[in-house]
Chains A and B, each alone.
Chain A
Amino acid sequence: MSELLAQIAIFIVAAFLGWELISRVPNLLHTPLMSATNAIHGVILVGGMIALSEAHNAVIVAVGFIAVFFGALNVVGGFWVTNRMLGMFRPPVKRVKKREG
């Protein structure tokens, strides 16, 4: 029971935290932000690993296998594409120098 209460407490604190964190991100960065948070929910991969490790029958192994595949796709794709996107947001000063050079 106390375990559940702790989980609920964490859930509520995390919800307020998420709210606070995002409220101050400018429009400029909304797409990378969404794509980064998208990658963060790829943490579901942790659950996939646990599920697959507990699986004993063939169907459930297949289900777990797909879950891990999906989770890894979510994590790697999400962080990778965000990194690629943010790589384009270079400081303006450098950009000018580069063009002159």
Chain B
Amino acid sequence: MQVATFLAYLAAAALFIVGIRRLRRPETARSGNTLAAAGMTIALVATLFVIEFRSLPLIALAAALGAIVGAISAQRVKMTAMPQMVAAYNGVGGGAAALIALSEFYHMQTSGSGNVVAALTVPLTILIGSVSFAGSAVAFAKLQELAFTGSVSFPLQQVVNALLFLGILVLGVNAFLGGAVLPFLSPVDSVVAILVASLVLGVLLVIPIGGADMPIVISLLNAFTGLAAAASGFVLDNYILIIGGTIVGASGTILTRLMSSALGRPLGKIIFAGIAASGTSKREEQEDRDVHDASPGEVGEFLADEAEKIVIVPGYGLAVAQAQGAMRELTEALESEGKEVLFGIHPVAGRMPGHMNVLLTEAGIPYDKLYDLEDINPELEDTDAAIIVGANDVVNPAANDPEQDSPISGMPILNVEAADRVIFIKRSLSPGFAGVDNPLFYDTEKTMMLFSDAKQGLQDVTSSLKNS
């Protein structure tokens, strides 16, 4: 590798790191992204000097096509559809890594330039990249509600997965030993077979995972693609691939861990066990317990007269109902009456980590009103009214009930119970994703239930507030 290219790669890596660092604060985040993009540009330009010149037109054509598709999709995507967009970009990244390893393996076989490291990392790159590609494709289909919605499982799923993985291992050894294990499969055919088997494995790993666990899957697949890129760096002896890929792999792993602890479930349980949606406590025999069925007028009047400090807890139901705008109007109406309004955002609200923050920011709610779980719980102690819109699991005190073993047991929750009054805006009493009943619904002293579509409910409360 030329010294200049090597130095350029180091500069690119430094820009990635500084860029990510600047993503810690909203004020600097945008410039951080720009810096990382500048680093990427440097890395790409530097690469032009180490490749064969004659292939430039073809590379330019492929890159231009990819850039156009990327730019158009990025410009058009709605913020509610961000998780599937990230899944899609992620998948193509993983797919690229697998294809690169495949073509590099072919190159090594035909030119006889292979080495031990490459023979080990090629199958690994193909495995991780293909799992990421196929897994992301399934995640995309689930999130876009094209196919595999909910948790799809079949008998002996774990066994099939294990066998597939074993098969991939055998194929990898076969490729490594030049076809000694399976004489009918040449090394190149073996890695092609690894690619196909890994694609199947990717599909099988993600189809059983339910909607509520999507934030975790997305960040896990992100980590996978990072690792695939790093592994391909070992195949190609390329430092920027190792650095960039590893940083993403490590950071994706952390995010995944943060998310699974925010759901109160170990990662292994999410991936390998029957998933939340298929949990035990879908008890349909709901006895007729009393609830305080409030009208929008009653809620509006209460907010106008008795609440000074209000915490709003939005859930994904808010986004489904496209009610972010109505939410902002209510917030502005309350603030114009001199009331303090804060938002409590659970880490897994939405379909990817931090998704709800983006949706509210898009609606024009300033980010300094958006509080994390740890920051909002102390605030709730002296809150007059907590309004929960389109959420249930994340405020369900049953999660803390040691007597109950439910899919959400142990999940940290927003402690809305601590507020003086609790107002749910919800279409019905039906429990959320996890299917666990919420005891707060039936606390008629504390809780008002406003049965309505999120958008309609918020609009009605806003107008009654303005009239009272």
Beyond the given A29-B26, A38-B86, A81-B85, could you list 6 further A-B residue pairs with CB under 8 A, ordered by the A residue number? Answer: A37-B252, A40-B244, A47-B236, A49-B44, A49-B59, A50-B50
Q: List 11 A-B contacts (CB under 8 A).
A: A11-B234, A28-B372, A37-B252, A40-B226, A41-B222, A46-B47, A47-B100, A51-B104, A54-B107, A81-B86, A86-B29
Residues in chain B within 8 A of chain A (CB atoms): 12, 16-17, 19-21, 23-27, 29-30, 32-34, 36-37, 40, 43-44, 47-48, 50-52, 55, 58-59, 61-67, 69-71, 73-75, 77, 79, 82, 85-86, 88-90, 92-93, 95-97, 99-100, 102-104, 106-107, 110, 117, 218-219, 222, 225-226, 228-230, 232-255, 345, 347, 350, 352-355, 357-358, 361-362, 364, 366-370, 372-373
A32 is contacted by which of B71, B354, B373 (Cβ under 8 Å)?
A: B354
A36 engages B32 (CB within 8 Å): yes
Within 8 A of B (CB), among A26-46: 26-46
A85 engages B222 (CB within 8 Å): no
Given A36-B23, A41-B93, A48-B96, answer yes or no on A15-B16 (Cβ-Cβ < 8 Å): no
Residues in chain A within 8 A of chain B (CB atoms): 3-4, 7, 10-11, 14-19, 21-57, 60-61, 63-92, 95
Residues of B within 8 A of A40 (CB): 16, 19-20, 36, 40, 226, 244, 247-248
A75 to B47, CA, bound (A): 15
Given A14-B250, A29-B24, answer yes or no on A34-B66 (Cβ-Cβ < 8 Å): no
B219 engages A29 (CB within 8 Å): no
A14 to B239, CA, bound (A): 11
B37 engages A79 (CB within 8 Å): yes
Nearest CB in chain B to that of A98: its residue: B364
B33 engages A52 (CB within 8 Å): no
A52 engages B229 (CB within 8 Å): no
Given A45-B44, A47-B233, A47-B236, answer yes or no on A38-B89 (Cβ-Cβ < 8 Å): yes
Residues of A within 8 A of B372 (CB): 26-28
User: How distant is A66 from chain B, measured CB to nearest CB, in Å?
Assistant: 6
Residues of B within 8 A of A34 (CB): 86, 218-219, 222, 252, 255, 352-354
Residues of B within 8 A of A57 (CB): 106
A31 engages B63 (CB within 8 Å): no
Residues of A within 8 A of B251 (CB): 18-19, 21-22, 33, 37
